[in-house]
Amino acid sequence: MSVDTLFTKEQISRLFENNKIAIALEVFEPNFPPVAFLYAEKLNYKFLVTQIEERCPATAFALSDYGDGGLIFEVLDIDRLEKEVENKGDVLRSDPSFAGKYNLAIYAKVADKMEQIITEAESEEIKLLFETFNQQPRYHNSNQNIRRFKFGVIC
């Protein structure tokens, strides 16, 4: 697999565009809505990707969940991740139907509460969490570094 097979052409375009915006704003970890959702089902790995580096497309910024309840913001080496997942008997996949509805800070707050990345409001509890954090204006500023927000297990 490669970036070309993990992401749709539209996602790649948006991921590159987000990276250009981040560079122009001089914001290393912007609070953009995620563009893509990657996962390894057996390992319970989940990644919300907001941008990729055009000169090195295997380099992505993501909120990452390695299935152990710990969440981190990180620069991902997608090629390395694919090999790691494969070596552990799983396959890194993407969900082409994923559409980020909220800024990354909101997904991170919900993930912090639920101890895993959640992409859809599958229950009333999760729906309420998304609605609650979405109503807070401070989580809507895309021009600020994501790490300025306070998260329990993330920072």
Please report the DSSP string for the chain in residue order. --HHHHS-HHHHHHHHHHHHHHHHHT-SSB-PPP-EEEEETTTTEEEEEEEE-SSSTTEEEEEEE-SSS-EEEEEEEHHHHHHHHHHTT---EE-TT----S-HHHHHHHHHHHTS---S--SHHHHHHHHHHHT-GGGG-TTSBGGGS--TTT-
In a domain, 155, yes or no: no
pLDDT at res. 104: 93
In a domain, 74, yes or no: yes
pLDDT at res. 69: 79
In a domain, 153, yes or no: no
pLDDT at res. 27: 79
pTM of the predicted structure, to 2 decimals: 0.90
Count of domains forming the chain: 1
pLDDT at res. 3: 79
pLDDT at res. 145: 62
Regions in the chain scoring below 70 on pLDDT: 1, 143-155
pLDDT at res. 149: 46
Domain membership of residue 80 as a residue range = 3-148
pLDDT at res. 92: 97
Q: Judge whether 73 and 65 are in contact, CB under 8 Å.
A: no
pLDDT at res. 147: 57
pLDDT at res. 153: 36
